[in-house]
Structure 1
Amino acid sequence: MTKSPKKSIIFVLIVTALDTAGLGIIYPVLPQLIEDLVNTDISTAATYGGWLTFAYALMQFFFAPVLGNLSDRYGRRSVLLISLFGFTLDYLFLAFAQNIIWLFIGRIIAGITGASYSVAAASIADISTDENRTKNFGYINAAYSSGLIIGPVIGGLLGQFGTHIPFIAAAVLSFGNFVFGYFMFPDTLDKSDRRKFELKRANPFGSFKHLSKFPTIITLIVAMFFMAIAGHSMPSVWAYFTIEKFDWNVELIGYSLAFLGLLSIIVQSWLVGILAKKLGDDKMTIFGLLFSIVGYLLIAFSNVEWLLIPAMIINVIGSVQRTGFQSIISSQVSKSEQGELQGSLSSLLGLATIIAPPLLTMVFTHFTKNESSDIYFPGAPYLIAVFLTIISLIIMFINYKNRKKPVANKRI
């Protein structure tokens, strides 16, 4: 039997926060490292940075289902440790890179082994009950956000001592996380709940095909995928949008992102539990989608800086939809298939990471710098986010109604 669910939850939250912090540490100095290695300007460095993200996301798309299925066969612990060790190797390649090829090798390794979040989510599903599943998913999302706040701050401070120092720190942090997990993490998946590894299900296409036997899940996963693309409007466009429209500097952009992260921790660790208890997962998800629409609209049409503050607050409150989707989808699948499910979700999120950044940034460029466009509208990417969120809301509403029909028929 699985030992101490509380201990396992605490470990999963620590792993998630430290893992995300390791990623966040390298964000402030990665552009400078690329500039140094390629001996180029920041504009060209951004292009290389985009391709590095592409390489990582592409590997995630193909290998997240493999690791998810392996965790269903051999348990969460082993796969999580492999993932943490892979990130350690990635950071070492970045720290001691002699040329840009080293960076790509490191990012590819991280993409192949980077299943830490999906396996952590599967672990949460293993040890959660119907009563606390949503709250626990809220905790893991809060831990993810806390890492995104802590990491960049540490990276910015360490970056003053050299561009390689933050990467060494990230490697030490990741390896420490590996050692901590090796000695402290009890597997959350009982041997009786494990299943045979099947190669045909251990790829994104085979995994999606298998999940098609759950029609309820497929429609919700589509909605979640659209929201993942919409959600990329913040990390992909926010800095460019605020610079273009309000002439913000790097420091102000950093503060705004930290503010978003702090709000996310509050929402995911506190508000999610309250809303799930009062509204239930379905209505909480619909509530979140409605708030997301309002938040994106406010950002898109903001003409004064102060309007961005309520827009950010409303948008982060809307993020409860992500936790709602996770909880509903997870509740429809058995323990022996949680790893496969979370791997498939990670693969889809990787696909969203491949599609969203170039799509949204190209739209931004078209409506701000492209002479062929007659319309100047920096908020255009956020209108795309509004459109995708509306589609997700419609899908969620229809799905909710369909799932309630059998219950209504039984009462007649």
Structure 2
Amino acid sequence: MENWKNVLHIFVTVFLSNFASLLVNPTIADVTMEAVCPGKDECSLAIYLTGFQQAVGGLGSVFMMPLIGNLSDTYGRKVLLNIPLILAIIPTATLAVSRTTEFFYVYYVLKIFTAMVTEGGVICLSSGYLADNVSEANRVSVFGIMAGVVSAANVCGTLVARLLPTGRIFQVAAAAAVAAAVYMRIFLQEKPQEADPLEHPILKSATENNQVEKEALTNADVIKKISLPKAIIRLLRSSFTVSLASIVVFFCSLADAGVQAFLMYYLKARFHFQKDQFADILLITYIAATVSNMVVMPALSKFMAEETMLCIGLFAGFLNMLFDSIAWAPWVPYASALLGLICFMAGPSIRCIISKKVGPYEQGIAQGCLMGIAALANVVSPLIYSPLSALFLSDGAPFYFPGFSMLCVGLAWLIAFLLSTLIKIGPILWKDRSSEPCLLA
């Protein structure tokens, strides 16, 4: 693999950052419930607070992700990575000090504002960094490995959360967040981009593209001349594939946001799950995802196009939520979690599809737009799933179906799957596309 040292350092940074944020996932529902509704297994206030936090943070991310992606094209990935890595330390450190109701609400407010940059910022900039350092031929495998690194961070974080008491969890998470920022500052090297006259950036006019052929781009100065809204619109309208992939990202992210925010509340109300049960389910899910992204996906990429892997992953996500929504026994969510072996192929595949459709100086804004669309889904998701979850988990539900909101999450994945089948499927046998120019129709 080319530039393997740079790739290794970004993987370590991503691992530490995600370990810090994901370590708290199995216990945050219990902490929230204990702070706002002590002694209860059902709490509509906790559900709405979680939804509000997700919506406001997502709304900010809609604007922040394309912005930091665009700035990273100009000023470098490493400079911009400092921002989400440092901001991620603050809310976790707050709960490391205390988990009383007062400290929880301080954490809650801090999390709302920092999430605008931290939720997706590291992945956005890391994806751009990988695109800078890896050729098109190897890109889907490397994006898959990065997703595997995230999954491995989930596994390690869940194991640690399973073993540690709640108080220690936030202290360890804060220390890991600090380690991620320090490691990145010391070891990560910025790779200067070399202009290639064959690779025409998509966000420029034909006149600008002709000029690129005559003189090399220096420090991406031309990007500064393009307004961010105009660049985003040009990107989304640049080709049918990009437009369709953007819609797929929205529905896929809509489902992801629903799972992350409300699945634990559903399982807590349905089967009285606690921190340890949540940790067990997450552990199964992300062990399967790690194997999928780091072993299965790189192997399949030699014989299967990323568009095909996208379709398979999205349909597996639908099946996962279908089984959870009709779970008739506590072991069903454990069994359906094994579908992580397949459904986690969707994220790396869609990032690779978008990455191959832009030029070398638009990788940051392309990945930023991707994360911005995902953030928009985070805004819409609680507007749909918060009232549904609260209604169908309460005694006043119109009919008895506690998992109805989870079924609706699955339907979002099903819509994404149906749309993904319209993306042109590449050849089944691997075709080396590393020498093709990054042109758009």
TM-score by length of 1: 0.84
The CA distance in 2 between the partners of 1:288 and 1:64, in whole Å, is 24
Q: Equivalences for 1:5-404 in 2 at 5 Å?
A: 5-28=3-26, 30=28, 43=43, 44-45=45-46, 47-95=48-96, 99=103, 100-101=105-106, 103-105=108-110, 107-112=112-117, 115-155=121-161, 159-160=165-166, 162=167, 166-190=169-193, 192=195, 194-196=219-221, 197-198=223-224, 201-202=227-228, 207-314=232-339, 316-369=341-394, 371=396, 373=398, 375-400=399-424
SS of the residue corresponding to residue 136 of structure 2 reads coil
User: Could you tell me whether the CA contact under 8 Å between 1:208 and 1:344 is conserved in 2?
Assistant: no
Give, in angstroms, the shift of residue 52 of structure 1: 3.4
Deviation per residue, 1:83-141 (Å, 9 max, x gap): 21222344445545865346413541352365211000111122222322111111111
User: Could you tell me whether the CA contact under 8 Å between 1:76 and 1:189 is conserved in 2?
Assistant: no
Structure 1 segments (4+ residues) deviating >6 Å: 35-42, 401-404
- Output the amino acid matched with 1:23: S
- Output the amino acid matched with 1:151: G
Give, in angstroms, the shift of residue 223 of structure 1: 0.8
The CA distance in 2 between the partners of 1:297 and 1:103, in whole Å, is 31
The CA distance in 2 between the partners of 1:245 and 1:71, in whole Å, is 45
The CA distance in 2 between the partners of 1:396 and 1:106, in whole Å, is 33
TM-score by length of 2: 0.79
User: Could you tell me whether the CA contact under 8 Å between 2:10 and 2:184 is conserved in 1?
Assistant: no
User: Could you tell me whether the CA contact under 8 Å between 2:86 and 2:178 is conserved in 1?
Assistant: yes
- Output the amino acid matched with 2:353: I
Give, in angstroms, the shift of residue 14 of structure 1: 1.1
User: Could you tell me whether the CA contact under 8 Å between 1:94 and 1:106 is conserved in 2?
Assistant: no
The CA distance in 2 between the partners of 1:253 and 1:401, in whole Å, is 37
User: Could you tell me whether the CA contact under 8 Å between 2:52 and 2:382 is conserved in 1?
Assistant: no
Give, in angstroms, the shift of residue 392 of structure 1: 2.0
Please say which of residues 19-28 and 185-194 is displaced more in the overlay. Answer: 185-194
SS of the residue corresponding to residue 125 of structure 1 reads helix
SS of the residue corresponding to residue 366 of structure 1 reads helix
Structure 1: runs of 5 or more not aligned: 405-412
The CA distance in 2 between the partners of 1:332 and 1:403, in whole Å, is 17
- Bigger proportion of residues as helix: 1
The CA distance in 2 between the partners of 1:20 and 1:52, in whole Å, is 19
Please say which of residues 265-274 and 349-358 is displaced more in the overlay. Answer: 349-358
Give, in angstroms, the shift of residue 315 of structure 1: 5.0
Give, in angstroms, the shift of residue 345 of structure 1: 1.2
Give, in angstroms, the shift of residue 166 of structure 1: 4.1
User: Could you tell me whether the CA contact under 8 Å between 1:69 and 1:201 is conserved in 2?
Assistant: no
User: Could you tell me whether the CA contact under 8 Å between 2:314 and 2:417 is conserved in 1?
Assistant: yes
The CA distance in 1 between the partners of 2:117 and 2:311, in whole Å, is 34
The CA distance in 1 between the partners of 2:410 and 2:46, in whole Å, is 30
RMSD: 3.3
User: Could you tell me whether the CA contact under 8 Å between 1:64 and 1:112 is conserved in 2?
Assistant: yes
The CA distance in 2 between the partners of 1:34 and 1:199, in whole Å, is 45
Q: Equivalent pairs: percent with the same residue?
A: 19
- Output the amino acid matched with 1:22: A
Number of residues of Structure 1 aligned to a counterpart in Structure 2: 397
Give, in angstroms, the shift of residue 302 of structure 1: 3.5
The CA distance in 2 between the partners of 1:90 and 1:333, in whole Å, is 35
Give, in angstroms, the shift of residue 222 of structure 1: 0.6
More relative contact order in 1 or in 2 (CA 8 Å, sep 6+)? 2
Q: Go from structure 1 to structure 2 and tell me whether the alpha carbon gap of 1:173 and 1:210 turns closer, same or farther (over 3 Å shift).
A: same
Give, in angstroms, the shift of residue 6 of structure 1: 0.7
SS of the residue corresponding to residue 336 of structure 1 reads coil
SS of the residue corresponding to residue 137 of structure 2 reads coil
User: Could you tell me whether the CA contact under 8 Å between 2:263 and 2:406 is conserved in 1?
Assistant: no
- Output the amino acid matched with 1:195: A
The CA distance in 2 between the partners of 1:316 and 1:96, in whole Å, is 37
Deviation per residue, 1:119-168 (Å, 9 max, x gap): 001111222223221111111111112222323443565545x4xx5444
The CA distance in 1 between the partners of 2:405 and 2:23, in whole Å, is 27
